[in-house]
Each structure stands twice: as structure tokens, then as C-alpha cells.
Amino acid sequence: MTEGNADYGAMDSEDFRLMVRAWIQEHYPEDKRFIVRRMGMDEIGGWVRALGAKGWLAPSWPREWGGMGLPIRKQIIFMEELSRHGCARFPDQALNLVGPLLMTFGTPEQKARHLHRIARGEEIWCQGYSEPAAGSDLASLQCKAVRDGDSFIVNGEKTWTTLAFCADWIFTLVRTSNAGRKQEGISILLIDLNTPGVTVRPIDSFTGEREFAQVIFDNARVPSENLVGEADRGWDIAKSVLGHERVMVGAPIIPMMALRQLEDLMDRLGTFGDTGALDRYAALRLDLYDLTTMFEEYVRRIEEGESIGGDVSLLKIRATELYAAISEEILLQAGDMARVAEPIALPDNVAFPLEIYAAARVPTIYGGANEVQRNVIARSVLRLPS
């Protein structure tokens, strides 16, 4: 039994904050605090299932689909408390991408089959977009799906697929036609990763962590009922999902957590008394306020059914570059203590200067490299010539 029907939106904000804080303090595992990488279900699955059982796994989702139905201000409070306690990020593509995808474009059967399972933490998803020759130029994808009666036969490869090795399903862009422009003839399929002909091969990241994977399709047979929207018309849906992805990549929770580590490190070192360090810290905190305000606006647009335009790329750029800037200040403050890849003990948590510095480079690439996002802004927002 979950508490998903509770009307948290009607609660006083401070009461809501104290309730969330107390529950996280009691239930979040101490040994998983302030870990900057995204953790797999083998490491963090107990926490995911606890959130699901509580009805708290999907704060922004409508209550009818198992979410908390939180208004944006309470979503920010929820994020702030997760950040305060150093709660690690877990496989969340289903919550941030698949849920909105199915709520908007899915059939009644697809919604009924998947949404409540996702909200309970019973079904984990990954995103099958990038390919070896189709990353930022996603429309060049070649993973092919051919109609065969009431099924599609899928052949091809997806790469850099985050945490695919601990997922149950993958939502995948496939080419169903070669007619017209490259953006045409693309469809979206929901594929059970236990389907015969699907192979998942983990890829180690440059930080030494196992976070990504290859997903190979070799004559994998997928029921046609797993098609989202119309065949050959998936590109516009994909762009909508990319907009949601860039909103979530732009969420302030990771910069919040990094700034918390910076604050604790400066407290330990006594550098708040240094004018230069204090000026740099103040600038980073003001940037975090700006980012949070910008994030609130995009979430409001999503909640009110407004379209997400190319300007969302600015949110992704601001969030990832702020995270990188905070990581650089942590490294600067740590000085000689950061010369080895070992944590620095702090009063309430630990800091990992080198790990944070390395991890902060990755978001500037995934979800569309920041250089590509600047081109998107130049073309679709500023209307500059190519």
C-alpha cells in the first residue's frame, strides 16, 4: 500500500519540508550519501523501492498515475531535501522521460501496463537514442525496425545507453522507413530487454565506473502494440522527449549537492574568511538561485501542457556548466588534499574533489553536447544564419 493518494500539494510548505526531511533521515542508507555518480539498482534498489512503496518516487507525476502531484515549489523543496541528505541519483529515465512520453502519446493500454509499475519502482527503463554514428546528429540513426505481421523485427545497435544493464525495458528510436528527409521514417518502440535477440554489454566510463552500455538488436521481435504514436512519425515525439530530458538534465539538484560539499569544505578549511573565496562562493550561489528559477519556469510549462522550445538548451548549458564551475572551486579549495582520489572527511558528509571534477565533465556531453546546444539556440532562438 502506498501513500500516493495523499494530497501533499495542500500541505503547508514548511510542514511538508519537515515531513520529507524526517522520512529521508530515517530511510536513506548512510553509506550511500553524497555519491556523485548515478548508481545502479544493485546498489540503490532498496531506496528506489522504499520511495515507490511510500508513493514518493514520482514527485511531479499526477496522483492518478501514482505520483505525488506536487506543485513546482514543493518539487523544489523535495529536491532540496534530497540534496541536503546526499541522496544519490538512480536510474530515473522512466520517471523523467518514459512517464511523460506515455502520458502524452501512449495508448490507454500502454499507460495501464507501465505507469503504475514505474511509479512503484517495479519497472526500470533506459533510453535507446544514441548510436555509434548518430549521437548529437540523432536523426542519422540506422537501427532498423521492419514490420512483420503484428510485430517489428529490430536490427541495429544503441550505445552510451545509461544503466541499460540494470533496466527491464528500453524506449528506442528506430528507423521504419528511408523515404523523405532523415527526420522522417523514425518511430518509437518500447522494447522488453528480455526479448530474444537483445544483448546488453556494459561500457566502463573514463572515471572507471560502469554506467553505460551497448544494446544490440539481432532480429529481435517486438509486438506492434509497443509502437508509441504513428509509425514513421516519431521524430516530433522524440523532440518532445529531448525537451523533457534537457529540462531534467537542467534540474538544480546535482549543483545543489555539489555546492553543499563546497560549503562544508570551506567551513572545515575556514576559507569563508578569505574575501576572494567568499566572492567566488557567492557568485556560484547566485548562479544556483538563477538556475532554480529557470528550472521552475520550464517545469511550469510542462505541467501546463505548453511546448518546450529550443530555448530549453540554455537550461541544460547553465546547469551543466554551473556543476563544472562548482567542481573546479571544490578542487581549488581542497588544494593538496585533492592530489589523490580519496574522500575528505567533513562534519556531515565527505567530499570527493577529483571524483566530482571528473563527473562534472560528463553532463556537458550527454543529452546533446553543450556545443551542439549553443548551435540549437543560435538557429531556433536567435535565428542566426547557418
- Residues taking part in catalysis: 245
C-alpha neighbours within 13 Å on the C-beta side of residue 315: 25
Instruction: Tell me the C-alpha distance between 81 and 78, whole Å.
Output: 5
The C-alpha cell at 303 is: 505541467
Q: Got the DSSP string for 23-46?
A: HHHHHS-GGGTT--SPPPHHHHHH
For 263-288, b/e burial (b = at least 16 CB within 10 A) is ebbbeebebeeeeebeebbeebeebb
Beta strands in 103-248 (DSSP E): 125-128, 144-148, 151-158, 169-175, 186-192, 198-204, 210-223, 227-228
Q: What is the distance between the terminal CA atoms of the chain, rounded to a whole angstrom?
A: 55
Instruction: Tell me the C-alpha distance between 155 and 172, whole Å.
Output: 12
Instruction: Tell me the C-alpha distance between 320 and 368, whole Å.
Output: 12
- R_g (Cα) of the chain, nearest Å: 21
Maximum C-alpha span of the chain: 72
Q: Which residue has the cell 545497435?
A: 157
Whether the Cβ atoms of residue 90 and residue 41 lie closer than 8 Å to each other: yes
Angle between helices 72-84 and 13-27 (to 10 degrees): 30
Q: Where are the alpha helices (DSSP H) in 204-270?
A: 234-249, 253-269
How many CB atoms lie under 10 A from the CB of residue 29?
Answer: 13
User: Secondary structure of 350-382 in the HEC alphabet?
Assistant: EECHHHHHHHCCHHHCCCCCHHHHHHHHHHHHC
